Structure 1
Amino acid sequence: MTDRPVTPVIPRPQTPHRDLLQLEVLPDEAQMRADIEQLRQEKNAVILAHNYQRPEVQVIADFVGDSLGLSRQAARTDAEVIVFAGVHFMAETAAILNPHKTVLLPDLRAGCSLADTVTAQGVRDWKASNPGGLVVTYVNTTADVKAESDYCCTSGNAVQVVQSLPQDVPVLFAPDRFLAAHVIRETGRAMDVWDGACHVHEAIRPEDVQSQQAAYPDAELLIHPECGCSSRILSAIPELQLYSTEGMIHRAQASAAQEFIVVTETGMVTRLQHDVPGKTFIPVSRTACCEYMKMITLGNILESLQNLQPRVTVPEEIRTRALLPIERMLAIG
């Protein structure tokens, strides 16, 4: 049998299917900002943005802050519409505080990996096993979990909340185990701790911090207590202070240092650059980025104002029960 040359198969020319090609004109950012401003005025709306939001979202917000600061703004606003540039539990908190207002979350997919680690049933089970016990939940929880809680807290006031509790009762702290470790160090209080964590903060390694310290030897560390690296860094630098995101602002303003390594989600660098001009802020890792926080864009903020959707509401029975621990959080400071 003789070898024959193989004739290549040449496909026939393809006719392009133009209807499959989806082209969109890139939006004009300046025009979107102008449209958002017009709708904000027309609909008596306020835009609240978390510190971890995209830079362009922080720029157009009425208020930028941490969960506690934004909760306070939501509680006192006169606006009829609240646009929450954050994640779902934050919009729920605003809805709990403002049952007669329209609360919008521009992208309902903006959830929270930390909030997902704890359930209302899990809290009820602990309460059943610990009669008379008190439940302190991080504000990064769903409304139904808050409804089972005695107190809410944020990283900025968790220590004060726990210090305010009677000493002779069992306490559950949920869901962030790294924040709980910080509270236990600061207060000496024994607590049951829920085994939850933020996927972004948990992934920040001591090696990430050490690498940036080697690159910026004169930089001061600003470490959030949610970070998985905090305990090991503290073992090496016992005098180091941990800071909530608002605490980072105050520390950077007061410090003589000119450079800071920011050990939390990357969006905090934007807030620091805005509030503390003239100093340099270095993210601990470019990968410390929360995809849920970055789901809010100028485009979907504009659409939400145009349509007054998607709206976040909380059933009244859950809302009234969740309101008490939130109000206690706000009262403590």
Structure 2
Amino acid sequence: MTSTIQANDLTPFGGVEPDEAWAEEVRRLARERDAVLLAHNYQVPAIQDIADHTGDSLALSRIAAASDASTIVFCGVHFMAETAKILAPEKTVLIPDARAGCSLADSITGADLRAWKAEHPGAVVVSYVNTTAEVKAETDICCTSSNAVDVVASIPADRDVLFCPDQFLGAHVKRETGRENLYVWAGECHVHAGINGAELAERAAESPDADLFIHPECGCATSALYLAGEGTVDPGRVKILSTGDMVHSARATKASSVLVATEIGMLHQLRKAAPEIDFRAVNDRASCRYMKMITPAALLRCLRGGLDEVHVDLETAAKAKASVRRMIEIGQPGGGE
């Protein structure tokens, strides 16, 4: 079925409390649709807790492809559901609200990338998985925040590299590889870009014994490394991590408190992974309005009506899948973002 909601109306579906009656109906409808429920780490806690699997977008897409379920309900933003469809084209993929977009994915289009490629003939295109199917189809190799450095390092040194779309992740890769022929697209996630170095420095000064978990999409990632280099923060406490790697590090850290620089939905999974640790956001306003459009009401609407189905045309899907496969051939990609 197709939604009739206008894309420019971003008012979330509301009016439903995530109580036990809601949970029972969601589970019943999911069984009736032979659906597996997947929730991204940035979803509201009620959605994370009802899901069959919670994680980062690529890990969830791989779960979707391997699942015996005929229907995938992807509680995340649109490019994530597209990736699940690319990896599992035979399955029905639903997103509870198709209006849930992504400022980072929207920062580059297929046409933008084709024009950029024309300016750099012969360059290898490396695209973050946080991109649309159209952009993945124009890409040579996809990457995640966990393996972006390894992907770029695998490309012959004499080949120019076009890295898109996140400028902060691109800066991290350029810093780690020392590669001068790496050109970075000036895109950003508006939520991560808003977590700035001044806030991080202030929070770190208030909690000098805390570990710092920094997502490489953050505007403060460079500042974190600068603080470590200056000795303001113990370098051993600064960890540049994908969302998936944050969960692993939460279980392994010896710190009693952790400052977290990413979207605030991540705190729910970290607190579940290590309830004895005090996890606090560097910026407690870092909430993605698009992620939060997947409400309890939206999920119920999706399961009742089979809304909103995600489609990717076969040619685009085949090209996009090839760029994802090349990434996996280089090495295990770890966290999706």
Superposed pair shares fold, TM > 0.5? yes
Which residue of structure 1 aligns with residue 232 of structure 2? none
| Separation of aligned partners in 2, 1:261 and 1:133 | 38
Moved over 4 A (4+): none
Name the amino acid aligned to 2:201. Answer: Q
The aligned counterpart of 1:83 is 73
Once residues 221 and 241 of structure 1 are traced to their aligned partners in structure 2, the CA distance between those partners, rounded to angstroms, is 6
The offset of 1:251, in angstroms, is: 1.8
Query: Are 2:185 and 1:201 equivalent residues in the alignment?
Result: no
Question: 2:51 maps to what in 1?
Answer: 61
Supply the distance in 2 between the matched residues of 1:330 and 1:258 (Cα, whole angstroms).
Answer: 35
Structure 2 match to 1:185: 175
Gaps of 5+ in 2: 1-13, 230-234, 333-337
Tell me, in whole angstroms, the C-alpha distance in 2 between the residues paired with 1:25 and 1:234.
44
Given candidates 119, 130, 152, the residue that maps to 1:140 is: 130
Corresponding pairs, count: 310
Paired residue for 1:129?
119
Shift, 1:171, TM fit: 0.7
The within-5 A match list for 1:264-275 is: 264-275=262-273
The answer for unaligned runs of 5 or more in structure 1 is: 1-23
Residues 102-181 of structure 1 correspond to what in structure 2 (within 5 A)? Answer: 102-181=92-171
* Counterpart secondary structure, 1:318: helix
Cα distance between partner residues in 2 of 1:160 and 1:308: 40
- 1:326 equivalent to 2:316? Answer no
What's 2:10 paired with? Answer: none
Whole-angstrom distance in 1 between the partners of 2:154 and 2:35: 36
Secondary structure of the 2:240 match is: coil
User: Is contact 1:68–1:156 with CA below 8 Å preserved after alignment?
Assistant: no
Contact map agreement 2:17 2:296 (CA 8 A) in 1 = no
> Does structure 2 retain, via aligned residues, the 8 Å contact 1:68–1:330?
no
* 1:231 CA displacement: 0.9
Paired residue secondary structure (1:165):
coil
Partner of 1:308: 306
Please say if residues 44 and 292 of structure 2, whose CA atoms lie closer than 8 Å, have aligned partners that are also in contact.
yes
Listed one character per residue, the Cα deviations across residues 98-145 of structure 1 (whole Å, up to 9, x for unaligned) are 111110011111000011111111211222222221101111111111
**Aligned residues: CA RMSD:** 1.6
- The CA distance in 2 between the partners of 1:110 and 1:217, in whole Å, is 37
Q: TM-score, normalised by structure 2?
A: 0.88
Q: Partners in 2 of 1:317 and 1:165 — Cα distance?
A: 26
The CA distance in 1 between the partners of 2:93 and 2:101, in whole Å, is 16
Q: How far off its partner does 1:25 sit?
A: 6.9
Give the match for residue 245 of structure 1: 243
Amino acid at match of 1:54: V
Give the AA of the match of 1:273: R
Query: Matches of 2:258 and 2:299 in 1, distance apart?
Result: 32
Equivalent runs, 1:226-305 vs 2, <5 Å: 226-238=217-229, 239=235, 240-305=238-303
Q: Which amino acid aligns with 2:265?
A: G
Q: Does the 8 Å CA contact 2:74/2:96 hold for their aligned counterparts? A: yes
